[in-house]
């Protein structure tokens, strides 16, 4: 088995060249579709999907014909008749075809509600559904996400007969007025209007089927075809799905008004950002100090969403959100494009008005608290295991930080160790406590990127203009710090009332986002990548070797480098680690191996402090059967690089 940490190993993601071609093709298709009807374009997409099915059919027929050929050759050469019932071969062919075309669906485990519980909500769903002429909604489920969605699940697997699920996030309803929720509901049901869901679901199943085929060891014969086919089907279907997002927004506007549709979009984005930046970070802080998560997280979330937002902070969030551009990373257009499409100009400033009665309060009434309590339990059961892992990681961080603090009292730490000490102090004890440590690092190394960023951030957070110099230095030194530094500078100048300077940094951030995204894509590790010998100093290699030697489970270690084309001076390092493995098929031992790999990866992440510039690949020394053949190729490739073996 093989596990990865820090960077990314993703067998489904396109290579950088493929992604570039994909982006170009999407732009071309979006321009061409403006002059063509939706029906004609969907016909092209369906035809392209049929090519994929046709290729699989040809392969299956070739395999079936091969069986008949082997049978005929055997009978001819041996002068014996092989007693094989043709019906058995046809059954085998049918089973192979079904297994090939079968797409797995994740069953929903959310809280289903019915008409008897909340009649007013179902009345609204009926009204919108009738006006939009959508198929029947079979199930309405409530979850704890700040989101809403339409989901289709087949009753009989491959043969369809789909049920329509409407997923409603209780926190989303708590952040919207009833009128705004009507716009959200119209958008989601709009995906079912005009038989849109059947076509979109069909394309989704084609894409998912090909992902399953190309990740299976036994379907390597599809790999070469997929490299040509994936960008095409993904691009054509991508444009079709994005077009439906605009159509759904237009239906939301028609069912309400341009003003309500626009305010619904803005408020949804703002509160989503608020939960990510505020509420979720507070939960992360709690996880570092408590083994067990709170039992009332959803209830807390609903209460937080009822609190008024700070106007200045809201303005900063809105600026960052509106600064995002529509890209090929998400089928949803960016907020500014969606607002333009519904005919409401992008606001320069916006503050959410106090909500007298939220959509959650209006439709769930006195049962809202009980519903939140049910979702509290579901959140707890779903999150308690990852929460405990996060707590364990924090405990190890504290142990390692205590060791570094003790060493620092006896002698000066190396620059790398001092950086780890400051980084852990920031994460565990806060930026203000860690500020002195970062300043000491700056005194030793004025061009230390992370120290410049942390000192600058701490200073501008306290309203000191001097922090801007450090943040600008961080921008110059490390491309990974451009976006967070620009965001801090934008926030600072906005709070200071210097909107002209704030816009400058917002523009810088916007210009850098595509490049940063391509860099992230380039950091994916694949067996087709080119690796070279690492260029690290002997002292640093010795320090790494010393830390690896402290882990008895590690048998061997290999270190190589992947050159980057986006940020050429920021190479990516791959640390391949062989560990002892039980090679047992017993589930208990397999789970123990996975926990060992996860814990080892997390500890090395803390100890080595390479940030995003290191990928740790952990694999067992016996090349177990569960290891993917592409992983084995990657392992063998790493081992062949000169001077790769460092332990």
Q: From CA 285, how far away is CA 287, in angstroms rounded?
A: 5
Residue 643 near residue 600 (C-beta atoms within 8 A): no
In the predicted structure, residue 294 carries a pLDDT above the cut 60: yes
In 3D space, the residue among 210, 54, 85, 186 whose CA is nearest the CA of residue 128 turns out to be 186
- The chain-wide mean pLDDT, for the chain, equals 82
Per-residue confidence (pLDDT) for residue 231, from 0 to 100: 77
In 3D space, the residue among 522, 530, 618 whose CA is nearest the CA of residue 13 turns out to be 522
pLDDT band at 202 (very low <50, low <70, confident <90, very high): low
Per-residue confidence (pLDDT) for residue 463, from 0 to 100: 92
In 3D space, the residue among 198, 148, 193, 188 whose CA is nearest the CA of residue 168 turns out to be 148
Per-residue confidence (pLDDT) for residue 192, from 0 to 100: 85
- Burial category of 625 from C-beta neighbours within 10 Å (exposed 0-12, middle 13-18, buried 19 and up): exposed
In 3D space, the residue among 335, 187, 167 whose CA is nearest the CA of residue 254 turns out to be 187
In the predicted structure, residue 369 carries a pLDDT above the cut 60: yes
In the predicted structure, residue 587 carries a pLDDT above the cut 70: no
Instruction: Mean pLDDT check: name the lowest of 39-43, 376-380, 424-428, 575-579.
Output: 39-43
The architecture (CATH level 2) of 2-13+527-639 comes to 2-Layer Sandwich (3.30)
Token pair, residue 400, equals 């390692």
Per-residue confidence (pLDDT) for residue 486, from 0 to 100: 96
pLDDT band at 10 (very low <50, low <70, confident <90, very high): very low
- The predicted-structure confidence for 40-95, as pLDDT tens digits, reads as follows 777 787 788 788 778 877 877 777 777 777 767 766 776 666 555 566 666 666 66
Q: From CA 315, how far away is CA 269, in angstroms rounded?
A: 12
Residue 131 near residue 110 (C-beta atoms within 8 A): no
Q: Specify the higher pLDDT residue, 315 or 8.
A: 315
Token pair, residue 569, equals 């001076």
Sequence spans of domains, the chain: 2-13+527-639, 36-101, 107-195+243-379, 412-521
Rg (CA), the chain: 28
pLDDT band at 168 (very low <50, low <70, confident <90, very high): very high
Highest mean pLDDT among 150-164, 491-505, 516-530: 491-505
pLDDT band at 592 (very low <50, low <70, confident <90, very high): low
Superfamily of structural domain 412-521: Tetratricopeptide repeat domain (1.25.40.10)
Alpha-carbon distances of 420 from 220, 414, 441, 456, rounded to whole Å: 43, 10, 11, 18
In the predicted structure, residue 576 carries a pLDDT above the cut 90: no
In the predicted structure, residue 504 carries a pLDDT above the cut 50: yes
- The predicted-structure confidence for 598-634, as pLDDT tens digits, reads as follows 777 778 888 887 766 788 877 765 544 444 445 667 7
Q: From CA 40, how far away is CA 639, in angstroms rounded?
A: 52
Token pair, residue 281, equals 């970070």
Per-residue confidence (pLDDT) for residue 552, from 0 to 100: 84
- The predicted-structure confidence for 301-342, as pLDDT tens digits, reads as follows 999 999 988 888 898 999 999 888 888 888 889 999 999 999
Q: From CA 44, how far away is CA 30, in angstroms rounded?
A: 14
- Burial category of 252 from C-beta neighbours within 10 Å (exposed 0-12, middle 13-18, buried 19 and up): buried
Per-residue confidence (pLDDT) for residue 150, from 0 to 100: 87
Q: From CA 633, how far away is CA 646, in angstroms rounded?
A: 20
- The predicted-structure confidence for 452-493, as pLDDT tens digits, reads as follows 999 999 999 999 999 999 999 999 999 999 999 999 999 999
In the predicted structure, residue 1 carries a pLDDT above the cut 50: no
* 156-182: average pLDDT: 85
Q: Specify the higher pLDDT residue, 254 or 101.
A: 254
In the predicted structure, residue 19 carries a pLDDT above the cut 70: yes
């Amino acid at each position: 088995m093989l596990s990865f940490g820090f960077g990314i190993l993703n067998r489904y993601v396109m290579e950088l060249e493929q992604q570039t071609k994909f982006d170009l093709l999407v732009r071309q298709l979006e321009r061409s579709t403006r002059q063509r009807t939706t029906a004609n374009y969907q016909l092209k997409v369906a035809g392209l999907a049929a090519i994929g099915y046709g290729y699989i059919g040809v392969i299956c027929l070739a395999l079936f014909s091969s069986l008949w050929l082997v049978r005929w050759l055997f009978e001819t050469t041996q002068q014996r008749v092989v007693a094989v019932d043709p019906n058995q071969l046809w059954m085998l062919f049918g089973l192979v075809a079904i297994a090939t075309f079968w797409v797995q669906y994740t069953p929903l485990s959310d809280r289903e509600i019915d008409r008897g519980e909340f009649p007013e909500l179902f009345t609204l769903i009926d009204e919108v559904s009738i006006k939009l002429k959508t198929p029947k909604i079979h199930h309405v489920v409530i979850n704890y996400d700040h989101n809403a969605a339409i989901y289709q699940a087949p009753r009989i697997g491959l043969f369809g007969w789909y049920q329509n699920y409407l997923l409603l996030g209780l926190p989303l309803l708590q952040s919207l007025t009833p009128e705004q929720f009507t716009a959200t509901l119209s958008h989601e049901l709009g995906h079912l209007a005009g038989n849109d869901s059947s076509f979109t679901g069909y394309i989704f199943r084609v894409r998912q089927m090909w992902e399953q085929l190309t990740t299976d060891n036994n379907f390597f014969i599809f790999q070469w075809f997929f490299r040509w086919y994936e960008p095409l089907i993904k691009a054509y279907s991508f444009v079709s799905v994005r077009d439906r997002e605009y159509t759904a927004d237009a239906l939301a506007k028609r069912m309400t008004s341009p003003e309500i549709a626009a305010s619904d979009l803005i408020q949804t984005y703002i509160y989503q950002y608020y939960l990510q930046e505020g509420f979720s970070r507070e939960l992360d802080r709690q996880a570092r100090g408590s083994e067990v998560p709170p039992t009332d997280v959803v209830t807390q979330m609903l209460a937080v969403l009822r609190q008024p937002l700070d106007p200045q902070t809201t303005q900063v969030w809105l600026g960052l959100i509106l600064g995002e551009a529509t890209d090929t990373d998400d089928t949803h257009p960016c907020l500014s494009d969606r607002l333009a499409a519904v005919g409401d100009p992008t606001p320069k400033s916006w503050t959410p008005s106090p909500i007298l009665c939220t959509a959650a309060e209006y439709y769930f009434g006195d049962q809202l608290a009980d519903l939140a309590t049910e979702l509290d339990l579901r959140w707890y059961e779903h999150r308690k295991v990852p929460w405990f892992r996060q707590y364990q990681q924090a405990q190890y961080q504290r142990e390692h930080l205590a060791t570094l603090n003790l060493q620092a009292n006896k002698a000066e730490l190396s620059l790398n160790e001092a950086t780890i000490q400051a980084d852990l102090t920031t994460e565990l004890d806060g930026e203000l406590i860690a500020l002195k440590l970062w300043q000491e690092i700056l005194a030793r190394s004025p061009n230390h990127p992370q120290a410049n960023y942390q000192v600058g951030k701490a200073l501008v957070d306290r309203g000191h203009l001097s922090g801007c110099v450090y943040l600008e230095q961080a921008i110059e030194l490390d491309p990974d710090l451009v976006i967070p530094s620009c965001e801090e500078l934008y926030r600072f100048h906005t709070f200071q009332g210097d909107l002209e300077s704030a816009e400058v940094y917002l523009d810088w951030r916007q210009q850098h986002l595509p490049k940063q995204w391509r860099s992230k894509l380039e950091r994916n590790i694949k067996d087709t990548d080119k690796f070279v010998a690492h260029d690290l100093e002997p002292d640093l290699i010795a320090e790494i070797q010393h830390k690896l030697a402290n882990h008895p489970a590690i048998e061997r270690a290999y270190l190589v480098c992947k050159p980057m084309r986006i940020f050429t001076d920021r190479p990516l390092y791959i640390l391949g680690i062989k560990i002892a493995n039980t090679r047992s098929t017993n589930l208990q031992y397999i789970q123990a191996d996975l926990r060992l790999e996860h814990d080892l990866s997390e500890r090395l992440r803390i100890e080595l402090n390479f940030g995003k510039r290191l990928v740790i690949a952990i694999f067992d020394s016996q090349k177990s059967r569960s290891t993917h053949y592409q992983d084995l190729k990657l392992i063998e490739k790493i081992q062949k690089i000169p001077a790769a073996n460092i332990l």
